[in-house]
Amino acid sequence: MKLSFPTKVINGQISSNRQPIAEAIKSFEGKEIVLTIERKRKKRSNEQNAYLWGVVYPILKDGFYQIGYKLTTEEVHELMKQSFVKVDLVNESTGEVKTITGHTSNLTTSQFMEYLADIKQFAAEELNVYIPDPNEQVNFKF
């Protein structure tokens, strides 16, 4: 069982959810537990996700098509994740590190912005296509 309680630390003290946290700890009486404390991070927004799937990936898909690759949007997504979303897994016993492809849904808003910057640079250098910023007005000539 994994429990999660949002709270804030003020003057070295937990400021909210004290009672539920105490009750959760009591529920594990006599058992070994792992207590993890981490900073709460914002996940990418719905707007960022819509921009990725509605603007960025379609432009990349077209760019790949122009150089001879007929990819689905999902294949473009997988290719970009493999290129730019890396997660290191560390064996705590041996120290061995394995790098795997992560999930974009786990990226914080700032990590997501880095992901988009990497994709934009790739698109410009490798596909010779421009990806506009989210609120940028673009005129297309047909």
> Residue 67: CB partners within 8 Å, gap ≥ 6?
127
Regions in the chain scoring below 50 on pLDDT: 142
pTM of the entire structure?
A: 0.67
Per-residue pLDDT reduced to its tens digit, 4-29: 777 888 888 888 888 888 888 888 89
Q: CA geometry: angle at 82 spanning 78 and 87, to 5°?
A: 125
Q: Are 98 and 88 in contact (CB under 8 A)?
A: yes
* Pairing of β 9-10 and β 86-90: unpaired
Record the tokens describing residue 138, joined without a space. 């673009």
Report pLDDT for 55: 95
Q: What's the Cα-to-Cα distance from 118 to each of 5, 70, 85, 131, rounded to whole Å?
A: 34, 22, 10, 11
Domain ranges of the chain: 1-40, 46-127
In a 13 Å sphere around the CA of 89, the CA atoms on its Cβ side amount to 6
- So what's the pLDDT on residue 30? 92
